[in-house]
Structure 1
Amino acid sequence: MTRISKYLLVVAFLIAATFAPGVFAAKAPNIVIILADDLGYGDLGCYGHPSIRTPNLDRMAAEGIRFTDFYVAANVCTPSRAGLMTGRWPIRSGMAGSTNDVLRVFSMGGLPTNEITIAAALKSKGYATACIGKWHLGHELQFLPTHHGFDYFYGLRFSNDMEPVRGKIPKNASSSLHPKLEWWNSALLQNDKILEQPTDLSTLTRRYTEEAIKFIHQNKKQPFFLYFPHTFPHVPLFASDAFKEHSARGLYGDVVEELDWSVGQVLNTLRKEGLAENTLVFFTSDNGPWLIRDLAGGSAGPLKDGKGSTWEGGMREPAIAWWPGKIKPAINHELVCSLDLFTTSLCLAGVALPPDRVIDGLDMRPMLFGTGHSQRQLMFYYKKNELYAVRKGSFKAHLITHTGYSKDAPEKHDSPLLFQLENDPGERFDVAAENPEVVADILREVEEFNKSIVSVQAQY
């Protein structure tokens, strides 16, 4: 074979290889999950709020998928975050809560070390990983993010109201619309070391955002996973000087509008670095609004109740998926859950799901990319470690009901309440009597699901 013939053969091979599927694998996509804290279903402009301005999230929704029926794994912080991180109902990992609803400063437990997080799974494929923001999955050393697959952690160990200063502070200080920084003693960590205490809570959103942008810049040449769980709008509320008295909605609106600014900064960084077309960004909240905080709390819009309840307002959240060139603009009405972010992230990265445990998350890729529909038909609503309600399709059956943070005893229903959520998202009209076969079907699903639950030690 002549030298020219060999050259032509090599060129032909390279051309064929370029167009042959799977020969040269594309770079694994970056994944960014931005999580607000206590943001309600009705708190964003694109979800109908009349006075809170959220232009960046509105644009994100217009360019991506805005979900109307997206749920989180629990109605309060700790179990919701555990479900998102592991793709498993918190009851399976001991993170559903038994004595307390969330991990407290005195809690000794945390996300078990044998649980596999999104970060730990993606690291096996060479991903750089960072958690920037509020963790709330255990503050003892072995439970911190750097022991759960994250290369880097910058944020608070738990909620910003859990470390008040010693001594007397005003009653209901966390709900104040004129909070003072000296009332709080929150510790800001970098990896496993305290960087600052007390922390200037008014600068948190800005500093989190600067750290997130720095992480993107530092890792733009390799695939990365950025978990960005904000501290706000959980009380006590603080906004930076640039956003104080910025919103017609008052301090709560100021805080949400600064979060919107933060999202815009992340998306603009991805655009400027040429990373947007290879990055999935997902925005949502950990649970519904804390309604008992009055004007320091948010809004569930048309939904009933809020944080701490298993009514829709407690667990149905605003959610937006954005990926230019991959995700087409749409409003999606299918049933989706935060558990699905675990499975979808692993599938996008080419990581096999753990075969040694039940994974409850489902793959959202067909729905995201317009090639299919949501695989999810069931949603289970837990309050601590007890099952309160189940949704199948458009119907939701309540086995137990309780208003969030009410001192009244929960009400058990021998005959479940039933609501058709497509035409009654506010859960006002019980249609159980007209649909006995639906109730019976959901009860069969409960019986089958309970068979898959193995008792484990509660972590708190």
Structure 2
Amino acid sequence: MDDAVGQILDSLKELGLRSKTLILFTSDNGPSLQRQERGGCAGLFRCGKGTTYEGGVRVPFFMHWGGFVHPWTSHTLITSLDIYPTLMSMISYQSKNSTDGFDFSHHILKRDAKFNPRESFLYFPGHVDQTIGPYAVRYKNYKAHFYTEGNELSDGNNYDFACTTKANRTLHNPPLLFDLNLDPGERYPLDPNKNRDLLLEIQYVTMNIMKTMTWADGEMKKPNSNSAQPCAQKGCRDFPSCCSTKTKLPLISIIHK
């Protein structure tokens, strides 16, 4: 991966586009511990891919844009849902459609650590059940686990039982509550009796978000289609010439003004 990313960056430099290109690097989930040394490591975060512990959902996010994004580090809660509205704001584009994410362009471009439009996020398992709702909820620097469940992708003979397939779905009432600033590894639950007001606030936030949600079938459940972009042909070799994609991807050029 390091070599592949390097080739892309080198090509941008050779074409004279490095300083004109906004480069994003992130991941869709934590490491696949099932693959052990090949799957990566979550460091101090608990478990990995397939779980709603921090090791399964917290990922790095790098952004490079010469002359616009200056070097700094942020610990603010940002999700992949926020990327689209942030990029649209950076190029002064007004979308006609409503979006689920928040605009973090001011936070990123102005290096304003205090600017944080997102206070909460709901974490669902891969097998979503509307009657159960989210497994965990992030609220500010706190995280409440209403359910926990291990996953084969985090197994690989994991020493932590909570990460393995033997850890079946478990309801926590009251929820397991962690202060991620003090305990990012989610090892020491806070006393629910001393944090009743906080738990009630988290439940209230969760309820309000759930009311606004529209449920739909996941794209992963739909059959493969050769009309999908950029290529959905199984066993494709000599990519991309072997693709049978019916539609062409548009060439988009955006100049920041």
Please show how residues 86-165 of structure 1 align to structure 2 within 5 Å. none
State the partner residue of 1:454: 214
Q: Report which stretch shifted further, 296-305 or 429-438.
A: 429-438
Does the 8 Å contact 1:290/1:297 carry over to 2?
yes
Structure with higher strand content:
1
Tell me by how many angstroms 1:325 deviates. Answer: 1.1
The 1-side partners of 2:16 and 2:191 are apart by 53
Tell me by how many angstroms 1:371 deviates. Answer: 5.6
Letter in 2 for 1:418: L
Please show how residues 259-298 of structure 1 align to structure 2 within 5 Å. 259-298=1-40
The 2-side partners of 1:287 and 1:457 are apart by 20
Structure 1 unaligned blocks of 5 or more: 1-258
State the partner residue of 1:329: 71
Query: Per-residue displacement from partner, 1:360-381 (whole Å, max 9, x unpaired)?
Result: 1111211111164232111211
Residue 423 of structure 1 is aligned with which of 182, 190, 194?
182
The 1-side partners of 2:175 and 2:141 are apart by 15
State the partner residue of 1:378: 120
Letter in 1 for 2:200: A
Query: Per-residue displacement from partner, 1:65-104 (whole Å, max 9, x unpaired)?
Result: xxxxxxxxxxxxxxxxxxxxxxxxxxxxxxxxxxxxxxxx
Query: Per-residue displacement from partner, 1:319-349 (whole Å, max 9, x unpaired)?
Result: 1111111111111111111111111222233
The 1-side partners of 2:55 and 2:145 are apart by 14
1:374–1:280 Cα change, 3 Å: farther
Does the 8 Å contact 1:336/1:376 carry over to 2?
yes
The 1-side partners of 2:148 and 2:116 are apart by 28
Does the 8 Å contact 1:287/1:307 carry over to 2?
yes
1:432–1:452 Cα change, 3 Å: farther
Q: Which has the higher contact order (CA 8 A, sep 6+)?
A: 1
Residue 391 of structure 1 is aligned with which of 138, 144, 150?
138
Letter in 1 for 2:26: T
Within the alignment, does 1:366 sit opposite 2:126 as a pair? no
Number of residue pairs the alignment of both structures matches: 200
The 1-side partners of 2:52 and 2:6 are apart by 32
Tell me by how many angstroms 1:286 deviates. Answer: 1.4
Does the 8 Å contact 1:432/1:439 carry over to 2?
no
Query: Per-residue displacement from partner, 1:266-312 (whole Å, max 9, x unpaired)?
Result: 22332333322322111011111111222332100110000000000
TM-score normalized with structure 1 length: 0.41
TM-score normalized with structure 2 length: 0.72
1:262–1:363 Cα change, 3 Å: same
Structure 2 unaligned blocks of 5 or more: 153-164, 222-257
Residue 85 of structure 2 is aligned with which of 329, 340, 343?
343
